[in-house]
Structure formats: structure tokens, C-alpha cells
Amino acid sequence: MRYKLTIEYDGTNYCGFQKQPDQPNKSVEEILENAVFELSKQRIKIFASGRTDTGVHALGQVAHFDLDKEFEATQIASGINYYLLKKDIAVLNCEIVDENFHSRFNAKMRSYRYVIVNRRAPLTLQKNRAWHLPNKLDIESMKLAASFLIGLHDFSSFRDSKCSSNSSLRSLSQIPPRNSSKFL
């Protein structure tokens, strides 16, 4: 059975999504795989729609894995969440999907949210959730620069040499206006 997960996590204490050989039990991937093992007693491999870097959070990342044993989707979500209680990771939804589904290659879009808090006072409530810039920003120059990012671009210089994607072309469709909560 193939299970599709929608997960969220606070990446503050993690080395990113992907397992790192020099940082055991510090990746979201490894923590999830261990939780699935605790539930099913089967070692699995989690496949995600993308990877996040150290300290990066996710609001609705999609991942999938296969199990030999059949569970109801609600059992998977509740069971994994039980083993994640103190881990800053949660399964928001679980679905049983066709064996041809792949969380990375079936993804049609990804959304990213970058938050800048522009004030002199340090961050408290948004600490680890925003970039603190105490100096005055030139908003008009930032808007102009951002407008050049919209459209189709070749990101080959940002790819890993072992990247399995068919194309390095990516399209950026929009940048929300200042103070937008569009992606919340």
C-alpha cells in the first residue's frame, strides 16, 4: 500500500528534510521514518515533494511511503502523530494512493513564503519564523528587483550534479504584495 502524507513541521531544531550521515536523528525524513517503523515495525523510505534546508519550516509538504501491511489512512496519521508528539512534526492528512503516485514527480506547484520583519526591536513571537532586518528597506527597489524573478528561468546552476529532474527550467508565477497573507 502507498500512503500519501501532508505534513507540517517547525524546522528550527532539524538539519533539514533530508537525512544527513553526520547528523543522525536530526532530519525530518529520519524522524518520520522512525515513527512509521514504531507504528508498523517495517523499515520504509519516505519520498518527499521537495527538501528543506536547516531551520526551514513546512506548512503542507507532501510525502509518500509504501508498506506491506495495510492500515486505514486515519490509523496511519494518528499512529505517526502519536510517535511524533514531542518532535515539532505533524501529519495533517493521510491518503491511500495509487502505486504510480510519486510525491516529487506528481507535484504541480510549490509555494514558498519568506518573511522579513523590518523594525528595530528584536523578534520574539516571530523568532525562527522571520528574517529580522532593523535598517530601513528600500521597498520600491525591492519590488523592482522582484519583478525580474517572475517568469520562466533556467536554474541549472542551482542543481545538484545528481539531480534526477528532466529539466532545470522553472517558472515563478507570482510574488505576493507587501503585508500579504496569501500563502497562510
Indicate which residues carry an active-site annotation. 53
CA distance 146 to 138: 12
Tell me the β-bridge partners of 62: 6
Region of 137 (left: φ > 0; alpha: ψ -120 to 50; beta: rest) is: beta
Decide if 76 contacts 3 (C-beta within 8 A): yes
Q: 65: closest CA among 39, 84, 26, 83? A: 39
Tell me the β-bridge partners of 8: 90
